[in-house]
Amino acid sequence: MRRILFLLLFGLAGLGVLVALGTWQMQRLSWKQALLADIDARISDAPGALPIRPDAETDRYLPVVIAGEMLPGEVPVLVSVKQVGPGYRIIAPFQTESRRILVDRGFVRIEDHTTARALGSMQVTGNLHWPQEIDSYTPEPDLKENIWFARDVPALAEVLGTEPILLIARSPTDPNITPLPVDSAGIPNDHLQYAVTWFGLAAVWAGMTGYFLWRTRAGPESETS
């Protein structure tokens, strides 16, 4: 009897933990969906002026319009675009009336890497962003070949002589550059998958608990028959 009681309590405790974890992930899913909806709404807002002191947290995804001059001295960042393949994001310095910032002009194919691009006076609409693309596996930029592997805003700003501010263009800046505007698609949202995993484990745990209880109870009965 004690063994059955122990198995029952152990099984219920484990089941409770797994169900609680699944429920927590469902709550996180609701939170993440609301967050993504807020980000999408903010991205598509009407663009305004560039803030005097943009903040990497409060001004992330802020829609902005700037006017000035696209300068030479671009940096290509190696990327891969779905259904297109490898290519480069073109990061260039942009001079407004009073300040110089970085502009992510968009995507070009590998073979268009060295093609001349439009410079000079233009207006650019986009969203401020401080991408977090660097981890322990990210190679150092090849400064000799001028090829980068991540949009490291502070490092790019130092190389190109700008403020550490990056505007991701959503308006075209050159006929041969495809804009890659900011969106929420790249923000991970795996909470539903995690919830299904925890609830699945809870079901397996409940089944195994029931099986062991049955085996434990059936054992003494078979011995007395």
Domain ranges in the chain are 2-39+195-220, 62-181
89 in Cβ contact with 158 (< 8 Å): no
Rg of the chain over Cα atoms, rounded to whole angstroms, equals 27
Q: How many CA atoms lie within 13 A of 216 on its CB side?
A: 14
Separation between Cα atoms, residue 157 and residue 154, nearest integer Å: 5
| The predicted structure's pLDDT at residue 172 | 95
Place of tokens 């263009």: 169
- CA proximity to 92, closest of 117, 77, 71, 66: 71
- Alpha-carbon distance 47 to 41, whole Å? 12
**pLDDT computed for residue 220 by the predictor:** 57
User: Which pLDDT belongs to residue 191?
Assistant: 83
Residue 183 is predicted with a pLDDT of 79
How confident is the model at residue 13, as a pLDDT? 87
Name the residue among 71, 199, 76, 187 with its Cα closest to residue 131. Answer: 187
Model confidence, pTM: 0.73
Alpha-carbon gap, residue 219 to 120, rounded angstroms:
86
Predicted confidence at residue 99, as pLDDT, reads 95
Across the chain, which has 225 residues, the per-10-residue mean pLDDT values are 75 86 86 73 86 91 95 94 90 96 96 90 95 87 90 95 96 94 75 87 86 72 52
